[in-house]
Amino acid sequence: MSWGVMADNLGWGVIEEGWRKGPWTAEEDSLLIEYVKLHGEGRWNSVSRLSGLKRNGKSSRLRWVNYLRPDLKRGQITPHEENIILELHAKWGNRWSTIARSLPGRTDNEVKNYWRTHFKKRANSKSSPDANEKAKVRMLKRQQFQQKQQQQQQYMNQLDMKKFMSLLDESENRVPYLPQAKQDMVTLYPNNTAGEEQDFLYPLFNGYMSLPEAPNHEENILWDGLWNLDDIHGNWSMACAANKAGLHTLATPFC
DNA sequence: AATACTGTCAACCGCTACGGA
DNA sequence: CTCCGTAGCGGTTGACAGTAT
């Protein structure tokens, strides 16, 4: 069954004044992508005429900007990004698009949603620190789970253990964290040759590779964003086994 | 196991800004 | 100057999934 048919069957995609509304189907997405390929961004009101899409310009633009643009970054907001959001919101207030411009690959909608769910409540709920704390722990657990799943998927698609180790070898001279990364790997999984703990390897790899060449203050920013990991009582066996320096590198990709 | 509650995020709405005729 | 079309912004809503009770 196609998405369009399914959407119709489920009652999605209400038609109002000739325009479809509600969740976009995969077919609509591909029509819009095709339109942008051919005509570029802009002239959104021509989309329906030129592509056959039954969506108005506003809806089309929004879908493209917030979801289909190829340069969008997917996944959790990182602690570093979170810090930028906090900093810029303190500076500019609710100017989401301005804030989003400082976060490549993030949309104003994403930043706005993130702020509302993570910070607004926190600011409002000084009166009930307990509930706040619980919510924080819940969210962290969920984030860890989702991120791990996502990264496992990516990793399984892209790398095997041997390739990972050879990449570390090749990169050691260029990226200063990598010798430590490799050492951690060996400590954590002395006998591993591409088996049981693969789900952990990609995050580890990604964490080292994606860390900026960080001066100390940037490391502090990352740590600030970790939201009192000491409070977490969840299954952090791996992280807790490590010392703080190790935890830093291990935890970064999960945030 | 069932229900209520909460968090997340895509999408919509109303408004404003801007540029061209 | 005014009008109109278009793009963009910020606030809000609603559906869904996950979690707590």
Model confidence at A19, pLDDT cuts 50, 70, 90, reads: confident
Exposed / middle / buried, residue A172 (Cβ in 10 Å: 0-12, 13-18, 19+)? middle
Secondary structure element (H or E) that encloses residue A112, with its range: helix A108-115
For A59-114, write each residue's pLDDT tens digit: 999 999 999 988 888 788 888 888 888 888 888 888 898 899 888 889 989 998 88
Residue A2 structure tokens: 């196609």
Model confidence at A123, pLDDT cuts 50, 70, 90, reads: low
Q: How far is the CA of A97 from the C1' of B17 (A)?
A: 15
Quick one: pLDDT at residue A52? 86
- Count of other CB atoms within 10 angstroms of residue A25: 19
List bases, strand B, within 7 Å of protein CB: 6-14
Q: What is the mean pLDDT of residues A211-221?
A: 34
In angstroms, what CA-CA distances link A89 with A92, A96, A99, A102? 5, 8, 7, 11
Strand C and A108 CB separated by under 7 Å: yes
Quick one: pLDDT at residue A74? 76
Q: How far is the CA of A223 from the C1' of C20 (A)?
A: 30
Q: How far is the CA of A120 from the C1' of B3 (A)?
A: 28
Closest nucleotide to A58, Cα to C1': C7
Quick one: pLDDT at residue A14? 66
Q: Where are the domains of chain A?
A: 3-68, 79-124, 129-254
Domains A3-68 and A79-124 share a fold: yes
Residue A7 has pLDDT above 70, yes or no: no
Three-class SS state of A20:
strand
Q: What is the mean pLDDT of residues A227-252?
A: 31
Strand B and A63 CB separated by under 7 Å: yes
Closest residue to C13 (CA to C1') is A22
Place of tokens 């009652």: A11
For A139-156, write each residue's pLDDT tens digit: 454 455 445 444 544 444
For A161-206, write each residue's pLDDT tens digit: 444 444 444 443 333 333 333 443 333 333 333 333 333 333 333 3
Quick one: pLDDT at residue A174? 36
Quick one: pLDDT at residue A121? 56
Strand C and A145 CB separated by under 7 Å: yes
Residue A125 has pLDDT above 50, yes or no: no
Superfamily of domain A3-68: Homeodomain-like (1.10.10.60)
Residue A168 structure tokens: 């570390």
What is the distance between the alpha carbons of residues A72 and A153, in angstroms, rounded to a whole number? Answer: 19
**Domain A79-124, what fold?**
Arc Repressor Mutant, subunit A (1.10.10)
Model confidence at A40, pLDDT cuts 50, 70, 90, reads: confident
Which 8-state DSSP code applies to residue A19? E
For A218-235, write each residue's pLDDT tens digit: 333 333 333 333 333 333
What is the distance between the alpha carbons of residues A109 and A116, in angstroms, rounded to a whole number? Answer: 11
Whether A161 contacts A201, CB under 8 Å: yes
Diameter over CA atoms, chain A = 64
Name which residue leads in pLDDT, A147 or A207: A147
Q: How far is the CA of A156 from the C1' of C7 (A)?
A: 41
One-letter amino acid at A201 equals L
Quick one: pLDDT at residue A64? 92
